[in-house]
Amino acid sequence: MSIDPLLVKSSFAAVEPHGTEVTAYFYRHLFEHHPAVRGLFAEHMDDQQDRLFAALGALVTHLEDTDTLVGILQDLGRRHAAYGALPEHFPAVGGSLLATLAHFAGDAWTPETEASWTAVYGVVTDTMGGALADAVRSAARD
Ligand code: HEM
């Protein structure tokens, strides 16, 4: 399945004006469906909510610039090793992310948009999750 950058960008643009409501919805969804990951996150998450959204914006901006995109995702993946995140958490986060985008994108959410975001999240899982798995493995060796 391939990524249509225009669909990804236009749907993200439709979601963006909803601001902090979006990340609040995302975390509510994630913790309700996957309570086991709640303990990894700090109790007060205001900063974290802004940073997650900013990181998503950077991914969308650099969607067609593969080198930059891969660099951002590898850095994020390596940092996530310190947060106790694991590659097996990615499907849970991806499910909540897509549910959140679908909720806020309105008419911009179509089966084609969903397919494109699914493909984007596949790249996130492979690249960020791969860097995370490497970092976790090398920490275990030290
Ligand atoms: C689309 C994928 C993801 C993106 C864009 C993302 C983005 C971010 C960003 C920007 C931060 C702030 C700190 C930093 O920049 O290093 C962060 C922190 C964090 N992320 Fe992610 N993340 C993603 C996936 C995940 C997954 C799969 C998990 C696993 C449960 C996770 C768990 C965490 C935790 C525990 C923190 C620290 C929060 C705290 O300090 O309370 N993230 N994430």
Q: Is the CB of 93 within 6 Å of ligand 1?
A: yes
pLDDT for position 141: 81
4 alpha carbon – ligand 1 mean position (Å): 25
| Tally of structural domains, the chain | 1
Asked whether residue 44 carries a pLDDT value surpassing 70, the answer given is no
Nearest CA to ligand 1 atom 32: 85
More confident residue, 138 or 71: 71
* Encoded amino acid at 81, one letter: A
Ligand 1 atom with minimal separation from the 30 CA: 30
Q: Is the CB of 136 within 6 Å of ligand 1?
A: no
pLDDT for position 48: 66
Side-chain-side CA neighbours of residue 128 (13 Å):
25
More confident residue, 1 or 68: 68
Asked whether residue 23 carries a pLDDT value surpassing 70, the answer given is yes
CATH of the domain at 103: 1.10.490.10
pLDDT for position 15: 96
**pLDDT class for 140, splitting at 50, 70, 90?**
confident
Q: Is the CB of 81 within 6 Å of ligand 1?
A: no
**pLDDT class for 53, splitting at 50, 70, 90?**
confident
Q: Are 25 and 96 a contacting pair, CB within 8 Å?
A: no
Q: Is the CB of 56 within 6 Å of ligand 1?
A: yes
What 3-state class would DSSP assign to 65? coil
pLDDT for position 35: 95
**pLDDT class for 92, splitting at 50, 70, 90?**
very high
Q: Which residue is listed with tokens 């439709």?
A: 14
The boundaries of the domain holding residue 116 are 5-141
**pTM flag (> 0.85):** yes
Asked whether residue 1 carries a pLDDT value surpassing 70, the answer given is no
Q: Are 34 and 124 a contacting pair, CB within 8 Å?
A: no
